[in-house]
């Protein structure tokens, strides 16, 4: 994809995983047409691969259709946790894990 369009390649986003949208704070403008306008989403696909949902799409320049970055988001349930990951040159890299139980066992205080 295009490292000239982004301020920082694959910024660390902690546990913020975007299934759709764009991280515009990291967008400096299109390296092809030199405009800083809206970023569109194109070629969006959703696959279900053995219990893992994979969403991919392209971030493209509104003015010249230049591909800024390729976005990949995954969701799966592993044991008793929902697992999320995101990898995108524009939006960054992130992963998160959330318990499906009412009380997250990882957050419990030890009894003794």
In the block, tokens 């949208």 appear at 21
How far does CA 56 lie from the centroid of its chain?
A: 9
Q: Which helix (H) or strand (E) element contains residue 84?
A: strand 81-88
**pLDDT at 111 (0 to 100):** 54
**pLDDT at 78 (0 to 100):** 85
Q: Do residues 14 and 97 lie in contact, with contact meaning Cβ atoms separated by under 8 Å?
A: no
Q: Domains along the chain?
A: 3-99 (2.60.40.4240)
Q: Do residues 29 and 107 lie in contact, with contact meaning Cβ atoms separated by under 8 Å?
A: no
**pLDDT at 104 (0 to 100):** 66
User: Residues 6 or more apart from 111 whose CB is under 8 A from it?
Assistant: none
- What is the block-wise mean pLDDT of the chain (112 residues), using blocks of 10 residues? 89 92 94 93 92 94 95 92 95 91 65 55
β-pair partners for 85:
74, 95
């Amino acid at each position: 994809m295009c490292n000239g369009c982004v301020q920082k390649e694959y910024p660390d986003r902690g546990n913020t995983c975007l299934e759709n949208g764009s991280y515009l704070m990291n967008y400096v403008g299109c390296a092809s047409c030199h405009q800083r306008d809206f970023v569109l989403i194109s070629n969006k696909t959703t696959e279900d691969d053995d219990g893992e949902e994979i969403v991919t799409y392209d971030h493209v320049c509104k003015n010249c259709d230049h591909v800024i970055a390729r976005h990949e988001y995954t969701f799966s349930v592993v044991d008793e946790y929902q697992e999320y990951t995101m990898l995108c040159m524009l939006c960054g890299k992130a992963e998160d894990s959330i318990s499906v139980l009412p009380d997250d066992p990882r957050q419990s205080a030890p009894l003794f």
